[in-house]
Structure 1
Amino acid sequence: MNKHIIKTTLLLFFLSIGLSACFQSKPLTLVESLKQIPNVTVKKILGDTTYTSYYELYFTQPLDHENPEAGTFKQRVLLGHHAVEKPMVVEIQGYNIWTEKAGELSKLLNANQLTIEHRYFKNSIPDSLDWQYLNIKQAAADQHVVIQALKKIYKNKWITTGISKGGQTTMYHRYFYPNDVDVSVPYVGPLNFAREDKRIHKHLSTVGSKECRDKIYQFQMACFKNKKEILPLAKTHVKEKGYSFSMGLEKALDLSILEYSFAFWQWGGVKCEDIPSSNANPEELFKHLKRVSGMDFFDENSLKPSLAFYHQALTEIGMYSYKVEPFKQYINYKKDLTFDHVFPNDPIRKFNPESMQKVNKWLQSDADKMLFIYGEWDTWSATAVDLKNNTKCKKFVNPKGAHSTRIRHFPPEMKKEIIQTLEEWLEMSIRNE
């Protein structure tokens, strides 16, 4: 072949490669990648400024993932972005999104963060509240859709986490989709086996010291003994706050007094020595009652944002009741009081324990790399996960801890073991300050 022809051919070949490189499309920006996700709207917002950038996404989700013709709803999701190379922590909410801030795990891992609002709460409520589509299976499918969509962008380790009902929701998602993420860290998430789980009563009769439990009981008794004098105080308080109760003022006061022991141990913000003596005056009794077990917990307007929670509690994920028997000489109820008052105009909701039984069996046999965080004195620890012989998961209980227990609250040695477990499971080093 002619040398000039060979030179010309080679020149054209290398020129074509160069031109091809010039015209190759640039890598997609994060926003462009997000906008390529089907059925998603993307908006850049201020959010937590510790992230490089922050976005609000709305996913169009089917009401019924097994029957798309049933309709759709918009689900709110937040994305705090550091870098696509970093891990992703998914904050699975059990309710609405409470905050745009980075959670404890995201800070520990210096990770990106996805926050997923639960269906039927706040910005993720369908146009029609058809309760048949509010169950753990449908909610887990929502989270699966979001996680799988973002995994196409973020390819490092994935961790799900959630607090309280978010901790429950984290368990449920992992049960249905065990391979969606590498590790899960549910915080203070109960696993109830009944509509009104009796293990709560057992916990309240054994938690802490006998001296403190007796003082709590005597305080409740004092409130009931002085109810005639406390009722006018409650009436004034309720009027000032604009509360209203489907069960009436007197029963709402009874419920607040009965709730006191649960709330005292759940939150741990009040010490035993702060409890008024049994001969305290009505004003002092009511002031303390409001502090620990506020009547707003039973207010109709306060309950509205949480109707979805109560529906799930009474039908699938369980709740608790108030023990009447110890106070029956002062209150006239034939049986323990339940949360049916939340839906005063509806038929009594029927509880199906099957879902929780299946989740429990899976946790004790097949669950892998799930790290459970609990507080010893937290009332919800009465129904904490029992891993039995499943050594592929771990549970840590913070001594004397409350429902606000986080990894940072553990004693140094326990905290060290938690961090080491996460490092081993995630195959990465964690900066623990």
Structure 2
Amino acid sequence: MKLTHLFYTLLFALSIVGCKSTQQVVTTTSTQDISNFEKLKSIKNVISVEKREPSSHFDENYEIWFEQPIDYSDASKGTFKQRVFLGFENQNLPVIVELKGYGIGSEKAGELASHYNANQLSIEHRYFNNSRPEQIDWNTLTIENAAKDQTTIINAIRDAIYPNAKFVTTGISKGCQTTMAHRRFFPNNVDASVCYVGPLNYQREDPRVYQFLKNVATKADRDKVEAFQKLCFENRAALLHMMKDEGVKKNMSWEFGVEKAIDYTILEYSFAFWQWGIPISNIPSQDVSVENMYKHLIDVVGYGFFEEKAVDDLQPYFWAALTQQGIYGYETAPFKNYLNTDSIYKFDWAFPEGITKDYDLNAMKEIKSYLDISAEKILFIYGEYDAWSSTAVELTDTAKNRELYKFVKPKGDHRTRINSFSSENQQSIYKIIDGWIAN
């Protein structure tokens, strides 16, 4: 009986061990098999996850909404919802983080994610597009609060899905400004950054823009641009009439009045012309009809910078530009005979109704100091003829030692990307980034 009892005792013990072992295997397998959808839903401040149709090379696409503090220093101000897109390919591949300076325009893969068949995380900027609360506390729209938004999201996504992946931030234009600011406040939050065509202004109306417009390209080309502007001012009455008609047809209005709108549109022409790389041959001759003159002016400048509804949509941009990130103005001296002034035309009118704020001179200078002294692993892309290159980042002599690089596309414009360069330069650029994302 004793031997029999011992046999059954051992058999029971072995069965218990076997059950525990089986349970452990099941638990481990279950953890590994948790879907990305469930991992994203489990993030503390994620309030909504939607799995979308796959796009580009991604196996899975998600729209994610984070609940973020309006003010990180004052929880009583409440929260807002911030929109994020995730294109998932593989948890061990790099994550390209597109820091938007505005809203998210697309969930398709950008240049870097496409090149590397990598994952892509796109973060809409606070207070733009879908991430805009009904009522905005404008004083909470700062580069520091935005950087904290982005760091919160990056950390959460990394912890949930990509604990071992390399993270590279990237941004275009204002997105480049956003990327620089994020690295200035959180230099070690990601492994590297690639910035496209972003200005680094040191004044609200940075005068380097005026010097650029006086020296870009050839004198003959610049003279043609200015001659067209003067032609527009000479025909201002007819152009104003056309703008009024278009306002009625397209239900457009201008908060500062259509009279000012036509002047600002003509003054903006030179900046927009060089920004977007319009061919010199597109400039109409002096005997052009007024109809074609107006068409060319609007083709280059558009309505989206001054028209009232467009300004409302861009209000967060104007606030950031006028309070921290800087913008430009318009020199009127060449057109003094038409405008009866040589004062700089500014964007004061673009502040939200009922509120203004002094420009913070230190915000961009602190980013400059960071880039000059301690920043590491950042690559800048610019177009030589892009008007925003007038205030491009300037690298110091020690920059290369810290793996800071700058590539300028000859005669390039604001659409300059890595694939705009020669094959040789593209190889040089990607060799640098390859080194940053190598495991």
* TM-score over 0.5 (shorter chain): yes
1:111 corresponding residue in structure 2 = 118
2:318 corresponding residue in structure 1 = 310
Give the 5 Å matches for 1:86-235. 86-152=93-159, 153-154=161-162, 155-235=164-244
Q: 1:349 to 1:23 in 2, by over 3 A?
A: closer
Long gaps (5+) in structure 1 = 429-433
Give the 5 Å matches for 1:58-73. 58-73=65-80
SS where residue 339 of structure 2 aligns?
coil
1:402 corresponding residue in structure 2 = 413
**Take 2:186 and 2:390, find their aligned partners in 1: how far apart are those partners?**
27
Q: Which of 21, 24, 41 is the equivalent residue of 2:24?
A: 21
Q: 1:47 to 1:131 in 2, by over 3 A?
A: farther
Contact 2:330 2:345 in 1 (8 A): yes
**Take 1:421 and 1:272, find their aligned partners in 2: how far apart are those partners?**
35
Question: Which amino acid is the alignment partner of residue 203 of structure 1?
Answer: F
Q: How much does 1:229 deviate? A: 2.7
1:431 corresponding residue in structure 2 = none
Q: How much does 1:20 deviate? A: 3.0
**Take 2:179 and 2:266, find their aligned partners in 1: how far apart are those partners?**
32
Q: How much does 1:324 deviate? A: 0.8
Q: Which of 258, 275, 280 is the equivalent residue of 1:266?
A: 275
Encode CA deviations 1:314-346: one digit per residue, 9 max, x unaligned: 000000001111100011345111112223743
**Take 1:250 and 1:355, find their aligned partners in 2: how far apart are those partners?**
35
Q: How much does 1:240 deviate? A: 1.9
Encode CA deviations 1:103-142: one digit per residue, 9 max, x unaligned: 1110111111111011111111123211110000000000
**Take 2:168 and 2:316, find their aligned partners in 1: how far apart are those partners?**
26
Q: Which of 367, 370, 389 is the equivalent residue of 1:359?
A: 367
**Take 1:87 and 1:344, find their aligned partners in 2: how far apart are those partners?**
40
Give the 5 Å matches for 1:313-392. 313-333=321-341, 335-343=343-351, 345-346=353-354, 348-389=356-397, 390-391=399-400, 392=402
Q: Which is worse superposed, 20-29 or 188-197? A: 20-29
**Taking every aligned residue pair, what percent have the same amino acid on both sides?**
43
Q: 1:151 to 1:290 in 2, by over 3 A?
A: same
Q: How much does 1:306 deviate? A: 0.8
SS where residue 20 of structure 1 aligns?
helix
**Take 1:185 and 1:19, find their aligned partners in 2: how far apart are those partners?**
48
**Take 2:12 and 2:299, find their aligned partners in 1: how far apart are those partners?**
87
**1:297 lines up with 2:305 in the alignment:** yes
**Take 2:231 and 2:56, find their aligned partners in 1: how far apart are those partners?**
50
Contact 2:331 2:342 in 1 (8 A): no
Contact 2:247 2:253 in 1 (8 A): yes
1:39 corresponding residue in structure 2 = 45
Q: Which is worse superposed, 239-248 or 349-358? A: 239-248
**Take 1:338 and 1:372, find their aligned partners in 2: how far apart are those partners?**
28
Question: Which amino acid is the alignment partner of residue 247 of structure 2?
Answer: V
Q: Which of 45, 56, 59 is the equivalent residue of 1:52?
A: 59
Question: Which amino acid is the alignment partner of residue 318 of structure 1?
Answer: G
SS where residue 160 of structure 1 aligns?
strand
Q: How much does 1:413 deviate? A: 1.7
**Take 1:23 and 1:394, find their aligned partners in 2: how far apart are those partners?**
49
Contact 1:190 1:383 in 2 (8 A): yes
TM-score (norm 2): 0.93
Q: Which of 247, 254, 257 is the equivalent residue of 2:256?
A: 247
Question: Which amino acid is the alignment partner of residue 122 of structure 1?
Answer: N
Contact 2:94 2:437 in 1 (8 A): no
Q: How much does 1:426 deviate? A: 1.8
Q: How much does 1:278 deviate? A: 2.8
SS where residue 246 of structure 2 aligns?
helix
Encode CA deviations 1:172-228: one digit per residue, 9 max, x unaligned: 011111111111011111111111011111111111111110100111111111212
**Take 1:11 and 1:227, find their aligned partners in 2: how far apart are those partners?**
95
**Take 2:133 and 2:361, find their aligned partners in 1: how far apart are those partners?**
26
2:36 corresponding residue in structure 1 = 30
Contact 1:91 1:114 in 2 (8 A): yes
**Backbone CA RMSD of aligned residues:** 2.0
Question: Which amino acid is the alignment partner of residue 199 of structure 2?
Answer: P
**Take 1:345 and 1:305, find their aligned partners in 2: how far apart are those partners?**
14
Contact 1:372 1:394 in 2 (8 A): yes
Q: How much does 1:144 deviate? A: 0.3
Give the length in aligned residue pairs. 427
TM-score (norm 1): 0.94
Q: How much does 1:161 deviate? A: 0.5
**Take 2:26 and 2:228, find their aligned partners in 1: how far apart are those partners?**
78
**Take 1:355 and 1:329, find their aligned partners in 2: how far apart are those partners?**
38
Contact 1:47 1:100 in 2 (8 A): no
